[in-house]
Chains A and B, each alone.
Chain A
Amino acid sequence: MNTNAVMQLALYLAVLLVLAWPLSGYITRVMRGEHLGPTRLLAPVERLFYKLAGVDAGRETGWKSYAVGLVLFNLTGVVAVYALQRLQGVLPLNPQGFGTISPDSSFNTAISFVANTNWQGYAGESTMSYLTQMLGLSVQNFLSAATGIAVVIALIRGFARKSLETIGNVWADLTRVTLYVLVPLSLVVAVLLVGQGVIQNFRPYTEVQTVQATVYQTARLDAHGAPVNGADGKPLMVDTAATTQTLPMGPVASQEAIKMLGTNGGGFFNANSAHPYENPTPLSNFIEMLAIFLIPAALCFVFGRMVGDKRQGWAVLAAMTVLFVAAYGVTVWAELAGNPALQHAGAASSLNMEGKETRFGIVASSLFATITTAASCGAVNAMHDSFTPLGGMVPMALMQLGEVVFGGVGSGLYGMLVYAILAVFIAGLMVGRTPEYLGKKIESFEMKMTAIAILATPILVLAGTAIAVSVSAGQAGVLNPQAHGFSEILYAFSSAANNNGSAFAGLSANTPFYNVMLGLAMWFGRFAIIVPVLAMAGSLAGKQRLAVTAGTLPTHGPLFVVLLIGAVLLVGALNFIPGLALGPIVEHLQMIG
């Protein structure tokens, strides 16, 4: 790591901590139903919501009701997003006149945005109307984030409570998170981004006269519009000149803000945060990176505050931070070391600038890539497919660890707490006591739920990849040859099942096969974890909180941090060493060999 790489990281972490700490106090109070300062103004809106929905916000429920409500709410979202895409052609706010989207792509995108994955098989600027982007995708950016936060708050309540049957009111949790946390934060970030040059309008795409005409080749078409083949059987190409450029437009900033804050990652445009209209300057890039980790980091502190021991939150955050810094170190090192092929082909250096933007360069691109995959954001400011083998392996591995290094809003922390439960289970046995975490005994029910939560995503990733590499529909999508092609498929399923959404985008995934396979992976990768986590919250809430003694395994010190890191890495490594060996590792050995 060079000095600049260290400085960008250090500033990033420092600003992140400074912002996350006060935010955590705010979230803690909001989730308790308290009003403070200007949020009082929104209180009538909240009350109106409850009145219209027939909800008594003060009445809490057990985990089953909570889970049923949450799943129903999310299913409603899937139906709404699917319908918007299928009806897009006849709905307003569609200045480019985009047509209806295919059923399989609509299915995939609906699940993708509801599951906080934001995997995109489509290219935004040539597919989605402003209405679909706004009322379908952007809304789900909020609601999927609210879902994640609600689940983790319910789980924390499970730890914090003593012999209680209830874990909260799902409707109050969703409403409060959205109204008081996500919307105000997004508003601030959106305005900051517009200031940097992110667009926000409802105009049709603009044609501009370019300085120089662009000559390019297109296939010659016959009278019926079919390509004409030459003597060699290949389509005949003709030179075409373009003198204009299309500037895409749309309400980008409002979506960009929540795309980051909610760790969603679904870009308005195909190039995502590499697109100058989504991410125009190094400063906008910095704001977007901060927005990704802001809520996940704050939630760690919320955890500490709610369980009544702030050190617990710091410990979890420390484990996340260590893993994150290590991952960043490998990525930035690999990208700076670069690709020897570039130099062999005649370039001045081997710095891996393929797929990266000049304004971000190697360091800010590597940092962004690490952040976006450590969190389950999936926005990209550089093309991961073109990263060096190890530089691309780190994002893939971060997802395969289960998106627990900061992770998605809410989902990262509840995922990490599941690992914490696993770690204290083994460690608890090793100190000769029935394992306990935060005074709650970890017994067979918790282990069952932990096992499901930890098993679900590796099974989805491995089985999905295995099926895709075995059938021609799966093999067909691959762009790059050999081991890298395998990496593309493994990355896709890692991304989908862990609800990240970034891609080794060379893979042509907008096919019925991938749309369906990845759609299923995203849905089960999300809810096969949420439901057991809520079940665990319910079971934990009902337990007695045991007193802390010298015989209690401390879960706030460096030892626990090491243990937690070890558990995360070991589980990840055991699941994915063979897959990674056949993808990025062998590609790296080939590249340097």
Chain B
Amino acid sequence: MNLSSQLRPALTIFVLLTALTGVLYPAAVTGIAQGVFPNQANGSVISKDGRAVGSGLIGQNFTEPRYFWGRPSATGPMPYNGAGSGGSNLGPTNPALFDAVKTRVAALKAADPGNTAPVPVDLVTASGSGLDPDISPEAAAYQIGRIAKARNLSIPQVEALVAANTTGKQWGFLGEARVNVLKLNLALDALGK
């Protein structure tokens, strides 16, 4: 057990393994990724008229009544800040959580006074990443009336768009069914109304 005799292998093996796992390995993954899945590897970016308008995976902030609203986002300084992901971290018994949920419920009700349906819980609770691109089909359904009114569309028209942008559970049971808010709103805008 000689300390100095172990020093050379410690340093050499460390450097060699660093080269293997820190240079060769990520380079290989990047090579394969860019070759096989270039769209995914570069962020699943959505373009409109040749201009990047967002990522299919990253949610955006919507507050206008004519758009479907996404999950509340707790990122700072602005919601859906892509450069600073994160959740609210409010504990279940924190009064701030209760107040926040209450405010969000009130905002939703104010935007759609006639709607007496109960407010789906995912529309009033902040997501984990602050960038959640999806809402539940129930949350989308809750907003259909408001959108139809704001855009002067028929309810079935909006329902059809929602259905087109809904993804079911993977293989019927993994994860949850969800509606991609950005894609749905882009589809709404594409209707031109």
A and B in contact, CB less than 8 Å: yes
Interface residues of A (CB under 8 A from B): 4, 7-8, 11, 45, 49, 52-55, 61-62, 64-65, 68-69, 72-73, 76-77, 80, 123, 125-126, 134-136, 138-139, 141-143, 146, 171, 174-175, 178-179, 182-183, 186-187, 190-191, 194-203, 205-206, 208-212, 214-218, 240, 242, 245-249, 251, 253-255, 257-258, 269-271, 274-277, 280-283, 285-286, 339, 341-342, 344-361, 363-365, 380-383, 385-389, 479-484, 487, 504-506, 587, 590-591
The size of the chain B interface, using a CB distance under 8 A, is 108
On whether A271 and B22 interact (CB within 8 A), knowing A248-B83, A354-B97, A481-B94, the answer reads: no
Contact B178 A358 (CB under 8 A): yes
Additional A-B contact list (5), CB under 8 Å, known A49-B16, A345-B102: A182-B21, A210-B61, A212-B63, A271-B86, A504-B89
Specify which chain A residues have a CB less than 8 angstroms from the CB of B120 in the assembled complex.
Answer: 347-349
Q: Which of A11, A351, A380 contacts B128 (CB 8 A)?
A: A380
Contact B89 A201 (CB under 8 A): no
Contact B86 A123 (CB under 8 A): yes
Cα–Cα distance between A351 and B101 once the two chains are bound (Å):
13
Q: Does B161 contact A (CB under 8 A)?
A: no
Q: Which of A55, A135, A354 contacts B90 (CB 8 A)?
A: A354
Considering only CB atoms, which chain B residue lies closest to A360 in the complex? B175
> Which of B11-34 touch A at CB < 8 Å?
11-14, 16-18, 20-23, 25-26, 28-30, 32-34
Contact A482 B174 (CB under 8 A): no
Q: What's the nearest-Cβ distance from chain B to residue A472, in Å?
A: 21
How many A-B contacts are there with CB distance less than 8 Å? 412
Considering only CB atoms, which chain B residue lies closest to A280 in the complex? B57
> Which of B72-101 touch A at CB < 8 Å?
77-95, 97-99, 101
On whether A218 and B77 interact (CB within 8 A), knowing A77-B14, A208-B52, the answer reads: yes
Considering only CB atoms, which chain A residue lies closest to B95 in the complex? A481
Q: Which of A7, A64, A480, A484 contacts B173 (CB 8 A)?
A: A7
Cα–Cα distance between A346 and B128 once the two chains are bound (Å):
21
Q: What's the nearest-Cβ distance from chain A to residue B165, in Å?
A: 13
Cα–Cα distance between A358 and B134 once the two chains are bound (Å):
6
Contact B121 A342 (CB under 8 A): yes
Q: What's the nearest-Cβ distance from chain A to residue B66, in Å?
A: 9
Specify which chain B residues have a CB less than 8 angstroms from the CB of A141 in the assembled complex.
Answer: 21
Contact A143 B17 (CB under 8 A): yes
Cα–Cα distance between A125 and B8 once the two chains are bound (Å):
36
Cα–Cα distance between A350 and B101 once the two chains are bound (Å):
11
Considering only CB atoms, which chain A residue lies closest to B61 in the complex? A214
Contact B53 A194 (CB under 8 A): no
Contact B89 A249 (CB under 8 A): no
Considering only CB atoms, which chain A residue lies closest to B170 in the complex? A282
Interface string of B29-46 (1 = CB under 8 A from A): 110111011001111110
Specify which chain A residues have a CB less than 8 angstroms from the CB of B12 in the assembled complex.
Answer: 49, 52-54
Cα–Cα distance between A21 and B56 once the two chains are bound (Å):
37
4 interchain residue pairs of minimum CB distance: A282-B175, A361-B176, A274-B128, A348-B118
Specify which chain B residues have a CB less than 8 angstroms from the CB of A344 in the assembled complex.
Answer: 98
Cα–Cα distance between A242 and B56 once the two chains are bound (Å):
19
Q: Does B126 contact A (CB under 8 A)?
A: yes
Q: What's the nearest-Cβ distance from chain A to residue B145, in Å?
A: 16
Cα–Cα distance between A139 and B3 once the two chains are bound (Å):
24
Contact A480 B176 (CB under 8 A): no
Q: Does B193 contact A (CB under 8 A)?
A: no
Specify which chain A residues have a CB less than 8 angstroms from the CB of B143 in the assembled complex.
Answer: none
Specify which chain B residues have a CB less than 8 angstroms from the CB of A214 in the assembled complex.
Answer: 61, 63, 78-80
Contact A211 B189 (CB under 8 A): yes
